Amino acid sequence: MKLDNIYQEEKKSNFAKVAEIIITMASRPSGFIGLSILIFHVVLAFISPYIAPYDFKAINPTLMLQAPSAEYWFGTDDLGRDVFTRTILGGRTALTITFFGSLIALLWGGLLGIFCGLVGGKTDDIVMRIVDAFLSIPWILAMLLIVSLLGTSTEVLIPALGFFYGKGIVRVARAATHDVIAKDFIVSARARGHSNFSIIWNEIIPNVRDAILVEGAMRWSWMLLGFSSLSFLGFGVSPPTPDWGLMISNARGLMSFAYWSVIAPIVGLSSLIIGINLTADAFAKALGIDRSTKAPV
């Protein structure tokens, strides 16, 4: 049979599947740029403590607001600290907190969404009303409240951010589940008498996983922006830890005469967000998913 050779496609290992997706992503220019930026930032976050030329908290009044020079590549800030050092270190906290925050958002949002989609009926109605109610609270106010009550430690920020950014994922997961459970293969599994757990694990998750992952990646960049806004308002990372949001906030008054102290963290933050966005976009395209959520930038 001629068809056999053409349609022979061996079952691939998971590793091979992931590799294939990444190659597909990188084969598009936008995906390639996005991936490169993201990888650059992640690598930088790992190695920056070892390559930083100066101590990020060393205050030196004599070196206040130096313009960029061979010695201080990005100049210094109002306390005489090296802006280059602080910029390359400034993404670490944000990246870590939002990465774990997104994982939490994915987990609870995804599972609750699938659950609601599967059980339907009253339970689904009630849960979705509650989620909607939460959606209607401006998240930044709620975050400010939580942070002012519980402090700005990582243990508070990660779950709080994860919670607020998971709501969108609930919707996506629920909608994707709804599409899937209408299919006959679910009916068939039910009629055979599989348990709900087995149906979720074997039938639903493989079919909604991609949509949820893409949404999660998108939420990551939203969360990054949100987290930086918190820092900007003084509710995120506490000084003197270097952080882009905080740096922008501190230096914004100096923009007119010491532009360097604000431009570096802005470039850092925006490039990371753009990088994640492009990657998420390419990821969605590589998986063949139509995305409804828009990127923050």
Partner 1 sequence: MTEIIQKVKNLSIGFKSKKGEEILILRNITTNIKKGETVGIVGESGSGKSTLALAMMGYVKHGLYTIGGECEFNSSNLLKMKNRDLEKIRGRKIAMIPQNAGQALTPNLKIGYQIDEALQLHSDLKEEEREQKISELLNKVRLPSPETIALRYPHELSGGQQQRVAVAMALAGTPDLLLLDEPTTGLDVTTQAHVLELLNFIAKDTGTSMVYVSHDLGAIAQVSDRIIVMYSGEIVLEGPSRDILKKPIHPYTYGLLKSIPKLSLAGLPQSMPGSQPQPGTMHRGCSFFDRCNFSEEKCKNNSPQLEYLEELKTSVRCFNYKSLMNDSQVNQTVNKIKTSLQDKEILNLSEVSISYAKQKLLDQVLNRISDDNPTVKDININIKKGETIALVGESGSGKSTILKSIAGLLRTKGGIIKFDQDRNLSSDLKERDPNDLRIIQLIFQNPDESLNPNHTVEEIIAQPLKLYFGLKGEELKKNIIDLLQKVRLGEFYMSRYPRQLSGGEKQRVAVARAFAAKPDIILCDEVTSALDVSVQAAVLNLLQQLKEDFGTTYIFVSHDLAVVRAISDRVAVLYQGRLCEVGPSKDVYQFPSHPYTEVLLGAVLEPDPDIKPKLVAEDIVEEKPPQKGCSFQGRCSRILGDICKNEVPPWQITNSGNSIRCHIPLKELQKDQIN
State whether residue 251 is helix, strand or coil.
helix
- Tokens encoding 150: 């519980």
* 107 lines the binding site for partner 1 (CB under 8 A): no
Smallest gap from residue 161 Cβ to partner 1 (A): 31
Q: Which stretch binds partner 1 (CB under 8 A): 34-42, 103-111, 180-188, 230-238?
A: 180-188
Q: Which stretch binds partner 1 (CB under 8 A): 101-109, 154-162, 178-186, 232-240?
A: 178-186
∠ Cα 138 142 146 (to 5°): 165
Q: Which stretch binds partner 1 (CB under 8 A): 139-147, 188-196, 229-237, 275-283?
A: 188-196
Cα–Cα distance, 110 to 123 (Å, whole number): 16
* 69 lines the binding site for partner 1 (CB under 8 A): no
Q: DSSP string covering 138-157, please? A: -HHHHHHHHHHHH-S-HHHH
C-beta closer to partner 1: residue 96 or 195 = 195
**Residues 296, 276: contact at Cβ < 8 Å?**
no
Residue 56 main-chain phi, psi, to 5 deg? -70, -20
C-beta closer to partner 1: residue 57 or 183 = 183
* 189 lines the binding site for partner 1 (CB under 8 A): yes
Binding positions for partner 1, 190-209, rule CB under 8 A: 190-194, 202-203, 206-207
* 11 lines the binding site for partner 1 (CB under 8 A): yes
Those residues with Cβ within 8 angstroms of residue 245's Cβ, 6 or more apart along the chain or in another chain: 94, 227, 228, 229, 230, 231, 232, 236, 237, 265, 269
Which stretches of the chain bind partner 1, using CB under 8 A? 1-4, 6-11, 183-185, 187-194, 202-203, 206-207
